[in-house]
Structure 1
Amino acid sequence: MPPHRKYAFLMILLAWAITSIACAAPAPSAPTAYPAEQVRADFDRLYAQLKASHYDLFARRSRADYDARFREMRREIDRPLTALQVRLRFQRFVAFGNIAHARIDPPSAAWDAFREQGGKAFPLYLRVAGGKVYIADDYSGRDDIAQGDQVLSVDGEPAMRWLEHMRQYVSADNDYMAWAQMETQLPLLTWMALGEVTVFDVVLVEPSGAQQRVKLEARTRAQFEATEANKPARFELDWNAREARMLEGGVGYLRPGPFYDNRPQAATPWDPTAFGGFIDAAFGEFIADGASSVLIDLRDNPGGDNSFSDLMVAWFADQPFQFSPGFDIKVSEAAIESNRRRLDSIGGEQDSTSRQLAAAYAGKAAGSRVMFPIPRVSPRKDGGFRGPVYLLVNRHSYSNTVLVAAIVQDYRFGKVLGEETADLASTYGALEKFTLPLTGIEVSFPKARILRPSGDPQARGVVPDIAIATPLAAGSTDTVLEQALDVVRAMGPSPAPK
């Protein structure tokens, strides 16, 4: 799936999940333009609500720096602004805090309308590696540009500095996370930051060392699609696939797919019954076929819910486990109201997490903290897989996929292979939302501090035990999996340290 299509699908899934769970009130119809005083009033409300609701708004930016940014941006609101202009300004302000789960979602409807009307976009997807910028995917339609070419500059700016224009719209805890997100969103982010630009002046360096300057024309959606249709076959991960099979050397290969019910006929994405059946069948076959080790491939996995992933980990765990000691939650009016809407939507479910949260919030003052415990999960009572287990991750392993890798690493259930995850193992999360009263913009914020099982608070992803780099240019085969299998087979059938 092309990067822009994958990103669009994930945004639809996220919207489905949040809408079905939070049941937020619909935003009012947006006028052609908002008066400056109305925008300033909602901007004031935005900052006040973030300070009141965010677990720690100043974790990565000082209060003095945030106050200064607020005053500067507020002064700039001196004329009527369209709904899109307001949304972009507000997201830039929220993203300034460098917390991934504090964000305003991209203006997908406006972007789709722009593209459907023939709007042209930057035709490259770029990847940052080792402080340099490379072409990860090319929709320019040109024969003199290829995956793996280094980008030296764009419109006269060094490539890294040019990317900073788009970086300011990305909510991310560090640059590594931001660059990973931008790989799949760059045409959209370029439009958000620069508007419609029809031609880009780009200086490239080919792997041979040859340098060239090209006038790179922006392209329509139809041109993107035509280029995709004419591309030669190359290996591409299917992030949505579930697969289990035996490989040479007695290795059981499991690609579990996302940790939610991704079947088209699923009534809800959050019922783990079908996923549990798939996992039980996979490990049952591995054991029956005499697998000496299992490799679980979590590359490009968007994550989901631990009620799914716990079913998988329980098959090879040798002690009770939990993905975090608990959620340290900041109580706020916005969190209480968001939780109340969820309760209204689920009716009489007595054991729901939302009902437990309501009980935890009861009698607590806004601004106080409550610890929400995470129950331990036991290994399978009827026996599980006792050979060595390996997890394969990359920078696009997200959400609770990262928590699975942290569990395996911290409890010594197996070894982690691949590249460092961009998403963090200890994070500010448990996302909630509030709605600005005048513009109707929904703002996400983290209500909790979530630590990995070891309690290590550092703002990093899961760092693999054995590093395997993802190549800059995709070939016809899965070279990363081939390297991972070489590692697994070289380690032999003895159990991985636990």
Structure 2
Amino acid sequence: MKYFFTLIALCFSFHPIFSQEKLKYSVDEVKADLDFLYSTLQDTHYNLYINTPKNEYDIAFSELTNSITDSLSLLDSYRILQPFTALSELGHCTFDLPFARLYGNYINEEGKLFPLNIRIENNKAFLTHNLSSDSTLMIGSEIVSINGKPIENYISEIHHYLSGENSYLKDTFFDLVSFPRMLWVLEDIKDSYTVKVRVDDKSISSHKIQAISALEFETEFSKVPQIFDNRRTFKIIDNIAYLKPGPFMNLESSGNSSEIETFNTNEFKNFVDSAFLKIREGKHNQLIVDLRNNSGGSNSFSDQIIAYFADKPFKFCSKFEVKTSKITKEFWEKVEDTQNKELKESILSHKNGEIFTSDISLNQPQADSLQFKGKVYVLINRYSYSQATVTAAMIQDYKFGTLIGETTADVPTTYGAIHQFELPNTKISVSYPKAFIIRPNGNTELKGTTPDIKVTPNRFTEKDEILDYAIEFIKKDI
């Protein structure tokens, strides 16, 4: 049975689309979208009020409704409606961000961006890319303020805009989206900025820098390695089998959770089967499964890997509860996969708004000669998202392997299994979680998967500390 945990980053599309969008939406149109947004989230979301009580949501709805007194552009509509959605404080309850629909036109119109990119660590901002003409701004410097505004205020405002269970998760979005792009979403870009920076905890210096064209930013930033690695990789390192499965979805599909083709496992199965055949032929007894920088996907993919080294039956969660609704049913009416027959029948047979527990069948270990009986080591980091962090938690809870790396930002006990709906006027797509999924060990806390062995990487170097540590540890663990 397939359960899809769509990565939050699916909402972040940076392929510029040059399209003609409506210039303004009337007061009535925006208010109608807000009404539809709130009522539909209440109807479809498993538990919209798990983190923010209904009375607080109602107050926010009333205040936001009263604040809409003039027509709004699509970007301004995003700016007021997404923070309302983000009140849920759940990563799977969110808007698609406006890049796909608006960013291409912004580039074409010679729009500008802030020229410095940053990374957030412990509520501090550190410079990662300097595209300004000021070469004295050094990578790794701490950004203290921008135009006199403390950087903490910017971080707080962006956290307010983003959906997510915790600040740690939201901080990873700075890396996924980039600060210059995110700043464009939040506010109109200025021609120049005064930036104050601190180097090595020493004195603060002030720098005046000019905004750069968005096209220049994209040209330069395209040369930077992307956070999510969509490649599937198998190789041997010092006689240790290394498997990086890539995202748990069909790479030949669009990745949209509302499209059935996203769940086609044929290509993935061929890759996994081939990898374990080579492991058997090479008689390798140590296996690294690298789940770092993984955007997630469906357990129907990840379960195929675990089955190769599991020594007992397993399932990806201890409990899976689903809330059904009209919109959820509209999706499942189109599902024809026989593996989903029982879940489909349950969703369609229950009344809208009802919550039911879905039976999760146990997956059996591989019974053939390809089963791996050696030691398994799993690499994780803050970018092990969605089904990647769920998979790591499964391996940890069933004691199938040893986790090495840093705590994941995303959480294995989660409100997930998302679907989408569209606002009637602005046509903004909204994701909502229809299910509550509890990790195999029964822990209901919404916190990341913690490694058995913690390794903190230095993000300002090219060195791969986590992989290097794992290889040396495995050599000693033989």
TM norm structure 1: 0.85
C-alpha distance 111-389 of structure 1, shift in aligned 2 (>3 A): same
- Opposite residue 66 of structure 1, the aligned amino acid is Y
Contact conserved, 1:331 with 1:366, CA < 8 A, in 2? yes
Q: Which segment drifts farther, 153-162 or 386-395?
A: 153-162
Aligned-residue offset at 1:120? 1.0
Aligned-residue offset at 1:444? 1.6
Q: Deviations over 1:111-156 (max 9, x none)?
A: 2211232111123332222332212333335422233221122222
Q: Deviations over 1:261-292 (max 9, x none)?
A: 32599994432223222222222222332323
Establish whether residue 82 from structure 1 lines up as the match of residue 73 from structure 2. yes
Distance between the aligned counterparts of 2:164 and 2:9, measured in 1? Answer: 19
Establish whether residue 165 from structure 1 lines up as the match of residue 157 from structure 2. yes
Q: Which segment drifts farther, 292-301 or 419-428?
A: 292-301
- Opposite residue 64 of structure 2, the aligned amino acid is M
Aligned-residue offset at 1:182? 2.1
Contact conserved, 1:154 with 1:200, CA < 8 A, in 2? yes
**2:244 equivalent among 252, 255, 260:** 255
Distance between the aligned counterparts of 1:430 and 1:8, measured in 2? Answer: 15
Contact conserved, 2:120 with 2:174, CA < 8 A, in 1? no
- Opposite residue 350 of structure 2, the aligned amino acid is K
Task: Look up the SS of the partner of 1:373 in the other structure.
Answer: coil
Establish whether residue 478 from structure 1 lines up as the match of residue 464 from structure 2. yes
Distance between the aligned counterparts of 1:301 and 1:176, measured in 2? Answer: 17
Distance between the aligned counterparts of 1:62 and 1:432, measured in 2? Answer: 23
Establish whether residue 94 from structure 1 lines up as the match of residue 85 from structure 2. yes
Establish whether residue 404 from structure 1 lines up as the match of residue 395 from structure 2. no
Aligned-residue offset at 1:390? 0.7
C-alpha distance 141-319 of structure 1, shift in aligned 2 (>3 A): farther
C-alpha distance 389-230 of structure 1, shift in aligned 2 (>3 A): closer
Paired position in structure 1 for 2:380: 393
C-alpha distance 300-74 of structure 1, shift in aligned 2 (>3 A): same
Contact conserved, 2:332 with 2:348, CA < 8 A, in 1? no
Establish whether residue 244 from structure 1 lines up as the match of residue 234 from structure 2. yes
Which stretches of structure 1, 4 residues or more, deviate above 6 A after TM superposition? 7-10, 235-238, 264-267
Q: Deviations over 1:388-425 (max 9, x none)?
A: 11111111111211111011100000111111111111
Contact conserved, 2:229 with 2:246, CA < 8 A, in 1? yes
Establish whether residue 113 from structure 1 lines up as the match of residue 113 from structure 2. no
- Opposite residue 243 of structure 1, the aligned amino acid is T
Task: Look up the SS of the partner of 2:128 in the other structure.
Answer: strand
Aligned-residue offset at 1:166? 2.0
Paired position in structure 2 for 1:284: 277
Q: Structure 1 unaligned segments of length 5 or more: list them.
A: 1-6, 15-28, 494-498
Aligned-residue offset at 1:97? 1.8
C-alpha distance 72-156 of structure 1, shift in aligned 2 (>3 A): same
Task: Look up the SS of the partner of 2:38 in the other structure.
Answer: helix
**1:261-280 matched pairs, under 5 angstroms:** 261-262=250-251, 268-280=261-273
C-alpha distance 455-129 of structure 1, shift in aligned 2 (>3 A): same
Contact conserved, 1:134 with 1:472, CA < 8 A, in 2? no
- Opposite residue 54 of structure 1, the aligned amino acid is H
**2:196 equivalent among 195, 199, 203:** 203
Aligned length: 461
**1:154-233 matched pairs, under 5 angstroms:** 154-185=146-177, 186-207=179-200, 209=202, 211-225=204-218, 227-228=220-221
Aligned-residue offset at 1:440? 3.1
Q: Structure 2 unaligned segments of length 5 or more: list them.
A: 1-7
C-alpha distance 403-102 of structure 1, shift in aligned 2 (>3 A): same
Aligned-residue offset at 1:168? 2.0
Distance between the aligned counterparts of 1:334 and 1:9, measured in 2? Answer: 20
Contact conserved, 2:142 with 2:198, CA < 8 A, in 1? yes
Paired position in structure 2 for 1:467: 454
Establish whether residue 335 from structure 1 lines up as the match of residue 328 from structure 2. yes
Aligned-residue offset at 1:339? 2.7
Establish whether residue 416 from structure 1 lines up as the match of residue 406 from structure 2. no
Task: Look up the SS of the partner of 2:399 in the other structure.
Answer: coil
Distance between the aligned counterparts of 1:201 and 1:252, measured in 2? Answer: 50
Establish whether residue 359 from structure 1 lines up as the match of residue 348 from structure 2. no
Distance between the aligned counterparts of 1:489 and 1:376, measured in 2? Answer: 34
Paired position in structure 1 for 2:31: 40
C-alpha distance 396-284 of structure 1, shift in aligned 2 (>3 A): same
Paired position in structure 2 for 1:443: 430
C-alpha distance 265-431 of structure 1, shift in aligned 2 (>3 A): closer
Task: Look up the SS of the partner of 1:322 in the other structure.
Answer: coil
Task: Look up the SS of the partner of 1:179 in the other structure.
Answer: helix
Paired position in structure 2 for 1:321: 314
C-alpha distance 37-465 of structure 1, shift in aligned 2 (>3 A): same
Contact conserved, 1:297 with 1:391, CA < 8 A, in 2? yes
Aligned-residue offset at 1:170? 0.9
**1:458 equivalent among 429, 445, 464:** 445
Paired position in structure 2 for 1:298: 291
Paired position in structure 1 for 2:135: 143
Q: Deviations over 1:166-223 (max 9, x none)?
A: 2222111111111111222122221111122222222112237353221232222332
C-alpha distance 40-9 of structure 1, shift in aligned 2 (>3 A): closer
Establish whether residue 369 from structure 1 lines up as the match of residue 358 from structure 2. no
Distance between the aligned counterparts of 2:254 and 2:180, measured in 1? Answer: 32
Contact conserved, 1:403 with 1:425, CA < 8 A, in 2? yes
Q: Deviations over 1:452-475 (max 9, x none)?
A: 111111111111111111213023
**2:50 equivalent among 42, 51, 59:** 59
C-alpha distance 442-244 of structure 1, shift in aligned 2 (>3 A): closer
Contact conserved, 1:316 with 1:386, CA < 8 A, in 2? yes
What's the RMSD between the two structures over aligned residues? 2.8
Distance between the aligned counterparts of 2:25 and 2:78, measured in 1? Answer: 11
Task: Look up the SS of the partner of 1:40 in the other structure.
Answer: helix
Q: Deviations over 1:375-400 (max 9, x none)?
A: 22111101411111111111111121
C-alpha distance 269-333 of structure 1, shift in aligned 2 (>3 A): closer
Contact conserved, 1:318 with 1:379, CA < 8 A, in 2? yes
Contact conserved, 1:121 with 1:219, CA < 8 A, in 2? yes
Aligned-residue offset at 1:350? 5.5
C-alpha distance 220-434 of structure 1, shift in aligned 2 (>3 A): same
Task: Look up the SS of the partner of 1:315 in the other structure.
Answer: helix
